[in-house]
Amino acid sequence: MTLNHITKKYGETTALDDVSLDIEEGKITAVLGESGAGKTTLLNVIAGNLPFEGTVEGVGKVSYLFQSPKLLPNLTVEGNLKFVLEKENYKNIALMLRKVGLEGKENSYPKQLSGGERQRVAIARAFLFPHEILLMDEPFSSLDLSLKKSLLALTVELWRERKETVVFVTHDVHEAAVLAHRAVLLHRGKVTDDIPIAGEPLRDFFSRPAEENTLVHALMRE
């Protein structure tokens, strides 16, 4: 997928300022930046949710994973998954629920689940929904560290099965270092750095102090 000269303004605010970017197929690209850098706007541009200047080529069908699970409260776990699927794909639900560790919870309602379980349903839904590209908007940001680690691991496990193209927005350098093949730094609507990350996800950087890790250092420099 290619973004060519993308500019997005909200009135006086320039959220994206002439951003051009090649997103590699089959890889996880992290878009890293502080709050207000334009990360969510970039995802919305890719998803075609907004008018903008410039062009996006080769997107295909998009699936989304958000910071909050956004489940429908009046539908069961299974109902929430069926809601986004065509009937012929219902058969994939049981296996996916097993993979995300929610076997036996298909008839539970969101309010009967823990926060982590709800986010697992959202992850299941994002991967089940037929797509060519997965957009993730800080899905691990509000989680405590142990839950964050287990859901990062789960996400990588599911990603490995089909190696889909992922664009992953985060303000957390450690998450980018653990999950992504590449980190694109966004600052005030401009791409200020583009750093390849060696090796394959999942990398266990949470267990080491950031100072010891040259990659996290590189990602942190301004």
Q: Which residues contact 49 (CB under 8 A, 6 or more apart)?
A: none
DSSP 203: P
Q: Tell me the C-alpha distance between 191 and 18, whole Å.
A: 9
Complex with ligand ADP: residue 9 or 82, whichever CB lies closer: 9
- Is residue 40 at the binding interface for ligand ADP, with CB under 6 A as the rule? yes
Query: Which of 36, 54, 101, 116 touches ligand ADP by CB under 6 A?
Result: 36
- In the complex with ligand ADP, the residue whose CB is nearer, 15 or 30, is 15
Residue 24 CB, nearest approach to ligand ADP (Å): 21
For the CB of residue 17, give the shortest distance to ligand ADP in the complex, in Å.
10
Provide, rounded to whole angstroms, the least separation between the CB of residue 20 and ligand ADP: 17
User: Comparing C-alpha atoms, which of 6, 20, 1 is closest to residue 58?
Assistant: 1
User: Per rule CB under 6 A, is residue 41 in the interface with ligand ADP?
Assistant: yes
Nearest distance in Å: CB 110, ligand ADP: 25
> Which residue's entry shows tokens 């980018």?
176
DSSP string covering 128-155 = HS--SEEEEESTTTTS-HHHHHHHHHHH
Q: Is 157 helix (H, G, I), strand (E, B) or coil?
A: helix
Q: Is 33 in the site for ligand ADP (CB under 6 A)?
A: yes
Interacting residues with ligand ADP (CB under 6 A): 10, 13, 15, 33, 35-41
